[in-house]
Amino acid sequence: MTTHGGFEPVFCTIVPPHVLDRLARHEDPAVAEPALRTLERDAAQRTRRRITAVRTTAAPAGKPSDRPDRTVFDAGHQEDLPGRKVHAEDDKPAKDATVNRAHAGLGATFELYLKAYGRHSIDGNGLALNASVHYGENYDNAFWNGDQMVFGDGDGTTFLDFTIPVDVIGHELTHGVTQYTANLEYYGQSGALNESVSDVFGSLIKQYALGQSTDQADWLIGSGLLAPGVHGTALRSMKAPGTAYDDPNLGKDPQPATMDHYVRTSQDNGGVHINSGIPNHAFYLVATAIGGHSWEKAGQIWYDTLTGGELASDADFAAFARLTAAAAKSRYGEGEEAKAVLDAWAQVGVPTS
């Protein structure tokens, strides 16, 4: 594994493989076949990431721009990336709503990181943001592949267009931020932290774009992604992990909210999408205890922890919790912010000392 600032060849998707595995075993081909094809494509991408070095982009000379540099490509339901260029930064809105949503989501992510934390794009040096839409046929996922965003259209039966929820876009791009900073290993608790950090900032990107306070936010990841008729509200809930869906096809949301229900599994890289519910819930508790806008104090504490240089790539929950407590104290002193952090981790059963 690499150290801070290096690049670990991981492949990160918004829909966990355990969800797609269940759908792929369904007796209805309309449910099973898109999930099976998605699993096959994801496996191929994962292999490609292991054998292909991540392309790095040299930092631009001088100060990075305060404007994003976005390009959207149309994969045309094929799997060759990036596809045909269809939208550049200064172009007028396209006729394709999916293209416009991708463009807007890239911009919302750039905006949050710049305005809230002074970070210029994913790498901190103005990295161009590229995205491909209409990937594959009925592809049931979205992913960050180390270089760019990729969005499927969904199958229309279980999932809709993956550009619909802005937090999905923010989630996947934040895997890039993690890649360029702490580079958390994508297995076990460090992998669950990698997923949780993406959920945290994905939610903050949505809240920032909507101007929401902590009590106005829905704290859902992927709201609007599930097709009509699916029994659920989103892929995950930070407010109440384990309650996002309970559907005959999808099954029941398996996320725990506390360490009492930590899931030990060899699937999903040691349950990275499942156990992320625990640090997700801790962040929700911190943010709501402090109140106001989540990106300001709670988000700042998490950002300081991610980018501070002390978070090891193989950090477990306890190590991350200790660093958030230290970050809160360093930035805000011994006041309500530090207390909120300590109380939240205690509530989810993760020690901070």
**219 falls in which pLDDT band (50, 70, 90)?**
very high
Distance CA 44, CA 38 (A): 10
pLDDT at 44: 85
The count of domains in the chain is 2
Same domain, 302 and 161: no
**10 falls in which pLDDT band (50, 70, 90)?**
low
3-state helix, strand, coil in the chain (%, to 5): 40, 10, 50
Phi, psi at 71, each rounded to 5°? -135, 130
Same domain, 200 and 148: no
- Model-level pTM? 0.94
Same domain, 197 and 151: no
| Over residues 233-252, mean pLDDT | 97
Q: Is-catalytic flag, 172?
A: yes
**49 falls in which pLDDT band (50, 70, 90)?**
low
Same domain, 162 and 202: no
Is 44 or 247 the better-scoring residue by pLDDT? 247
Residue 149 pLDDT more than 50?
Answer: yes
Does residue 3 fall inside a structural domain?
no
What angle do the packed helices 97-117 and 188-210 form, to 10 degrees? Answer: 100
Token code pair at residue 103: 């463009």
Does residue 5 fall inside a structural domain?
no
Same domain, 176 and 262: no
Same domain, 136 and 51: yes
Residue 69 pLDDT more than 60?
Answer: yes
CATH classification of the domain holding 25: 3.10.170.10
Contact 104, 43 (CB under 8 A): no
Q: Which of 172, 185, 195, 337 is catalytic?
A: 172
Output the average pLDDT for the chain: 93
pLDDT at 6: 42
Does residue 7 fall inside a structural domain?
no
| Over residues 25-29, mean pLDDT | 95
**In terms of Cα–Cα distance, which of 143, 59, 151, 60 is closest to 101?**
151
Residue 10 region, left (φ>0) first, then alpha (ψ -120 to 50), else beta?
beta
Same domain, 175 and 206: no
Same domain, 159 and 192: no
Residue 3 pLDDT more than 90?
Answer: no
> 10 in helix, strand or coil?
coil
pLDDT at 146: 87
Q: Is-catalytic flag, 8?
A: no
> Which residues 6+ apart lie within 8 Å of 266 measured at CB?
none
| Over residues 54-80, mean pLDDT | 79
| Over residues 3-24, mean pLDDT | 75
Q: Which helix or strand (DSSP H or E) is residue 252 part of?
A: strand 251-252
Q: Which of 87, 120, 175, 273 is catalytic?
A: 273
User: Domain end: 145, 180, 215, which one?
Assistant: 180
Distance CA 285, CA 298 (A): 10
Does residue 4 fall inside a structural domain?
no
Same domain, 171 and 251: no
Report in angstroms the alpha-carbon separations of 253 from 21, 70, 218, 264. Answer: 14, 34, 17, 16
pLDDT at 63: 79
**DSSP character at residue 63:** S
Q: What pLDDT digit, counting tens, does each position of 82-141 carry?
A: 999 999 999 999 999 999 999 999 999 999 999 999 999 999 999 999 999 999 999 999
Q: Which range of residues forms the domain containing residue 126?
A: 12-180
Is 60 or 301 the better-scoring residue by pLDDT? 301
Is 73 or 2 the better-scoring residue by pLDDT? 73
**304 falls in which pLDDT band (50, 70, 90)?**
very high
